[in-house]
Amino acid sequence: MKNWIELSEAEYEKVWNKMFDVLKFKPSTSDFPSFEVPTPFITYDISVYLGDSHGLGAYEDLEEKALLVFKENTSRDDYLYALDWQHECYWINPHLEFEKDEFDELKVPVFPNGDYYFYIHKDLKWGYLGQPWEKTITVFGEGLIKGFKKHQPKMFHKVLRQG
Say what the pLDDT of residue 53 is: 55
Segment (H or E) for 147? helix 142-150
Asked if 15 contacts 120 with a C-beta cutoff of 8 angstroms, the reply is yes
Integer Cα distance of 148 and 67 in angstroms: 11
How does the average pLDDT of the chain come out, rounded? 93
Integer Cα distance of 108 and 45 in angstroms: 20
Per-residue model confidence as pLDDT tens digits over 1-51: 579 999 999 999 999 999 999 999 999 999 999 999 999 999 999 998 887
Closest C-alpha to 122, from 99, 141, 104, 103: 141
Per-residue model confidence as pLDDT tens digits over 104-151: 889 999 999 889 999 999 999 999 999 999 999 999 999 999 999 999
